[in-house]
Chains A and B, each alone.
Chain A
Amino acid sequence: MMFGMVLRRVAFSAFSLVVVSLLLFVLTRSIADSPARIVLGDQASEQQIAQFDRDHGLNRPIAVQYVTWISRLMLHADLGRSFTTGLDMNRQIRNTLPVTMEIVGIAFLVASIVSIGLGVLSALWRDSPIDYLARLLAVFGVSVPGFWLALVLILALTVERDWFPPGGFVPLSQGGLMEHLRSIALPVFCLSIFYLAVLTRMTRSSLLEVLDQDYMRTARAAGLHAGRVLLYAMRNALVPVITIAGVSFGHMFGWALIIEQIFNIDGMSRALLTAIQQRDYSMVQAVVMMFTLVFVIANLVADLLNSWINPRFAMAAS
């Protein structure tokens, strides 16, 4: 039964990707100016444009173009070459993706671990000073936009003091561990704070709701140890938290874009914004596809994780 469910989920994610990629493809092709015009300029003649289109397969029906694109992507993981720049997009992305991945990955881990811990403490010691503090921090974390926080922290900690570098990404190979960490500390912090707040609130409210349930009373009536009682609660309380965490991971990639810009980090944001500037729409499409792929996978993982810790979730959702 479990296997069938996993299969169904994966199939739906694939369906999701197809629908979204189709939407993306159609939108990109219909809104953007033709690549031929962009590359050849406004003075180009009709024949030159037609020739360009033939060379790049742009004269075929849009459905065919889509199928070619998506099948190459799904079967060979190949994004192809940009129409505008002629560069191999795979390589461009491979250069910048790891940087963004690292920042988002660390930010996500920090946000998840701290928030769940804080949320649990907040719920167990309800209305205590810890609880009030956590709730206050959560409200502010949710409301203060990460990118403004970044600007403020740059002012406070890099201009006034010298605790962190004001920008730039120092790879491990170049500066050693300490310098590397110093260069990503602020970006990671600014990126994680919002989701930390959201997940803390979610954990707290979810756990509070679960603790009021009848089955928790049964668990206590059975004399189970406090640790096990908490575990009994968490297997139910974590479900919405994990769902939101999955969604958050995907969204974090989006916000990493802005954070990277502020801190002058050469991640995927540079790839996307440069592509927009250069009107390299095939690159824009490729990058957006990548982000969307990450989003879908993150949601899938969250769903599967939930089904594992709480099989009733699996049954309800299918």
Chain B
Amino acid sequence: MRRFGSFAAQCGGPAGLAGVLIVTVLVTVAVFAPVIAPFDPLQVSILDKLNTPDNIFWFGTDQSGRDVLSRVIWGSRASLMVAAGAVMIGLAVALPIGLVAGFYSGGWFEQATMRVLEAVSAIPTLIWGIALVGIFGVRSAVWGPFTITNEEKLLGLLGLLYVPTLARLTYASAVIESRTNYVAARRLQGAGGLRIMFSDVLPNCLSPLIVQATLLLAIGIVIEAAISFVGLGVQPPTPSWGNMLASAREYLLSGEWWLSVFPGAAISLTVIGFNLLGDGLRDRLDPRHTTSGITT
């Protein structure tokens, strides 16, 4: 029991613990979707269309007779993939930039990059996301030997939009960490700059980054849903919580509430989970709140 208590404390209290639980459930559902979902999410069945929730179809069926529960379960994959992929791409680009700028502080790179990044922070993420995806077009793009699906385009774009925030956060830590005595000692030992950056400076910058990444995951879920909602994200028939809400709009006024309530509830629950997790981690890893809670 005591070990449980200390684990709960590790997560940053009961709220953080709830967050961990919710996120774990989400990831499990997404990974094991083929096993968990009772029906094929793409299976059309005109006979069963627009059933209210009952014993067979727990969440009811949509306008093509597809089981809403299964679609919600499979939809978690799209949301999670976009949100997580975006954060990973963002980190992959932002970390080197922030590290180099912080480590070689005082040089032209630092000045130039940080000014540009600060200028570029003035980009409202959602608008640019929608506009750029819109301009890109929703067809899969062919780029040499690679075919990039729309979801991949979206997560790449989103990831790049996250770069200013993540790079500035990395830089803030890197600048401080690079000035410490042990880094100076490593330099005297003859370790190269690159090596010091990645093996000594980076690990100490991770705390606020982890918190920010978690919060960006939460935001990513909502942004993906919003972009899919206006038809520019995950394309039907692939289920995504966002595009399920989009098709549910027509049936809103005629009373088929289950089409919108369940996907939306899924989004809300997921976002609550990531937010709680992020808050809990923040209490433990970033008590001085250098990370920002909203970056839409």
Contacts and interface: CB of A to CB of B under 8 A. Distances in A.
Check A-B contact in the complex, CB < 8 A: yes
Contacts of B132: 27, 31
A205 B264 contact: no
A288 B119 contact: no
Given A151-B260, A152-B264, A299-B122, A145 B271 contact: yes
Interface in A149-180: 151-152, 154-155, 158-159, 166
Interface in B241-268: 245, 248-249, 252-253, 255, 257, 260-261, 264-265, 267-268
A272 B276 contact: no
B120 interface: yes
Interface secondary structure of B, over-half rule:
helix
A288 B226 contact: no
A198 B293 contact: yes
A286 to B, nearest CB: 11
A288 B128 contact: yes
A88 B252 CA distance: 36
Determine which residue in A27, A32, A151, A198 has the highest number of CB atoms from chain B within 10 A of its CB, and name it. Answer: A151
Contacts of B230: 257-258, 261, 273
B134 interface: yes
Interface residues of B, number: 47
A251 interface: yes
A257 B252 contact: no
Given A152-B264, A287-B131, A295-B123, A139 B252 contact: no
B136 A31 contact: yes
Nearest to A154: B252
B296 A20 contact: no
Interface string A282-299: 001101100110011001
Contacts of A148: 245, 260, 264-265, 267-268
Contacts of B123: 20, 292, 295
Given A166-B253, A276-B131, A145 B268 contact: yes
Interface string A135-147: 0000110111101
A255 interface: yes
A251 B267 CA distance: 20
A263 B55 CA distance: 33
Contacts of A145: 222, 225-226, 264, 267-268, 271
Interface residues of A, number: 58
Contact of A143 (B115, B119, B135, B275): B275
Interface in B117-161: 118-120, 122-128, 130-132, 134-136
Given A140-B272, A147-B245, A288-B131, A15 B119 contact: yes
Given A152-B260, A291-B127, A16 B271 contact: no
A252 to B, nearest CB: 9
A187 interface: no
B289 interface: yes
A257 B130 contact: yes
A201 interface: yes
Contact of A19 (B119, B124, B255): B119
A20 B260 contact: no
A152 to B, nearest CB: 7
A23 interface: yes
B122 A139 contact: no
A148 B267 CA distance: 9
Nearest to B273: A143
A273 B135 CA distance: 11
A253 B264 contact: no
Contacts of B118: 12, 16
Nearest to A195: B294
A251 B275 contact: no
Nearest to A31: B135
Given A142-B275, A148-B267, A257-B130, A292 B248 contact: no
Nearest to A18: B119
Nearest to A293: B122
A284 B260 CA distance: 29
A251 B294 contact: yes
Interface stretch (A79-87, A242-250, A305-313): A242-250
A201 B128 CA distance: 27
Nearest to A288: B131
Nearest to A294: B124
Given A155-B260, A254-B125, A19 B120 contact: yes
B253 A159 contact: yes
B199 to A, nearest CB: 33
20 contacts: A142-B271, A145-B264, A147-B226, A148-B265, A148-B267, A151-B260, A151-B264, A202-B293, A205-B289, A244-B294, A250-B124, A251-B125, A251-B294, A253-B124, A254-B124, A258-B126, A258-B229, A261-B230, A276-B130, A299-B122
